[in-house]
Chains A and B, each alone.
Chain A
Amino acid sequence: MRRRLPVIIAFGIGFLMLIQYFIPHPRSEEFYNVIVQQWFIIIFAFMYIFALRSFFMHHITKVKRKKEGYIFSAVAMVSVLFMLLSGLITSRGPFFDSLYNYMIAPLQGTMFSLLAFFIASAAFRAFRARNVQATLLLVTATIVMIGRVPIGDYLWRGMPDLVEWIMTVPSMAAMRGIRIGVGLGAVATAMKIMLGIERSYMGGE
């Protein structure tokens, strides 16, 4: 029953949500409203509780066993608790805002900005015209890189239009192909979950 019940719930809710989309009856609308406004949102809220539990279980185990880098686990747990308590105690007041604005924002911004340095270094070392495909990629990337900044327009008037053509014709054609594939894959996966063929969401194999 432990394995059968989730499959029955997944099939039932999935099937009802699927057919209600095509039935504009007040009862169908009411069902949709209850599912969306109550069930979904409550389930999502519980997900955060489970995520926190999982986070603490993982890091407490690391600290207990004194695994490599366990000190960072301790810092992570203290930071989460500190942020959580500061939000609850100060009712998201100026202190909480300051923690976000002057600690989280600069820290995350710094981490992401390092990308510019590593991309430059990696481009210098690894971006080589070794064969036809690599040369095509290199030439296109160079045109897009120069055309997406004002200096491209400054160097040659036609550069932004050339970049716009690359984005709206070859790039978009490729993206459409990928998207159609992803869409069909999503439908197939949803059907497999509803029919109980795909059960990895229940854990285990």
Chain B
Amino acid sequence: MGFWQRFLQLDRKWIFIGIAIVVIIPLIKPLGLPIKPTKPVIDLFTYIDTLGPESDPVMVVTGFDPSTMPELMPMEQALLRHCLTKGIPVISFGGLYPAYIGMAKMAIDEVSADFPDKKYGEDYVFLGFIPGVSAVILSIGIDIATTFGNDYYGTPIDSLPMLRGVKNYSDISLVVDVSGSSTPEYWLMYAQERYGVNIGVACTAVSAPAFYAFLQSGQFVGMLGGLKGAAEYEELMARKGYPTGRRPATIGMDSQSLAHLLIILLIILGNAGYFIVRRGERRQGIIRRKK
């Protein structure tokens, strides 16, 4: 058996070890590869950046569970950080499914800890889970207080100073859905189309191609696609001199870069081996036929 035949039968444990190494090393020692922001990210960043303390609140919707946390949590934290830095009132909504609420709490707890001057109820609020999915999106368009009743901690919505005068989407400047599924489409259909609220999307890299059409049509204000989108957002914040925290997405992009390179290398070598072995087999076949 030749080298390439043996190589094609490589035990997968070696591939697993290779992936583990290229993922772990940059996390320990970041490479600091340059990040170039793209238009969808710049659009969302610029939209939020033009808002201020006097603007209507931005609603950040948590639409992911722990399975997509490494990709989406940096986005949610960067968005919350940006809003709190600018003094924009923030409504953190715990999401349309029960598994998302823990992620929302984790994000708001971690980010708000870095802004001790911001007060709960005055600068940001946290709304919990309400069953209904599309019905909840529609219901917010009628009346937020009736939809939720209380915030996550059980405080009546009416008694939160920040939400006085915030009745429905007409009092919200932007809804950003940080989503690991198809929920941005629900926000588009039920909130943007029916009530005309502006929608921004932060989604996994896998979902991003599905939303480009809505970006081009102007139905989405902007989009963060995958960990790259989060890293670009962190980069834009850094360029403006805003606090970025430890920039988890930027650190993660180094690992992702090397992992992608390794996968491409494996694909090239796998194909090279495949064609070399196939050519060898053909030649042997020709020799046999000649005999």
Contact = CB atoms under 8 A, between A and B. Distances in A.
Interface in A33-58: 33, 36-37, 40-41, 44-45, 47-48
A175 to B, nearest CB: 6
A104 B66 contact: yes
B25 interface: no
Interface in B7-64: 10, 12, 15-16, 18-20, 23, 33-36, 38-39
Interface of chain A, main secondary structure: helix
Interface string A113-149: 1001101110111011100000000100010011011
The number of chain B residues touching the other chain, given as a range, is 35 or more
Contacts of A200: none
A101 interface: yes
A106 B263 CA distance: 25
A111 B15 CA distance: 18
B142 A37 contact: yes
B132 interface: yes
B216 A97 contact: no
B262 to A, nearest CB: 7
B259 A116 contact: yes
A149 B228 contact: yes
Instruction: Give the size range of A's interface with the partner.
Output: 35 or more
A145 B263 contact: yes
A124 B70 contact: no
A154 B212 contact: no
A24 interface: no
Contacts of A172: 209, 212-213, 216
A146 B260 contact: yes
Contacts of A81: none
A120 B212 contact: no
Interface string A2-36: 00000000000000000000000000000001001
Given A117-B20, A150-B231, A168-B212, 20 more contacts: A37-B146, A37-B147, A40-B134, A41-B135, A44-B132, A44-B133, A44-B135, A97-B105, A100-B102, A101-B102, A104-B102, A117-B16, A120-B263, A148-B226, A149-B257, A150-B33, A150-B253, A151-B258, A153-B34, A172-B209
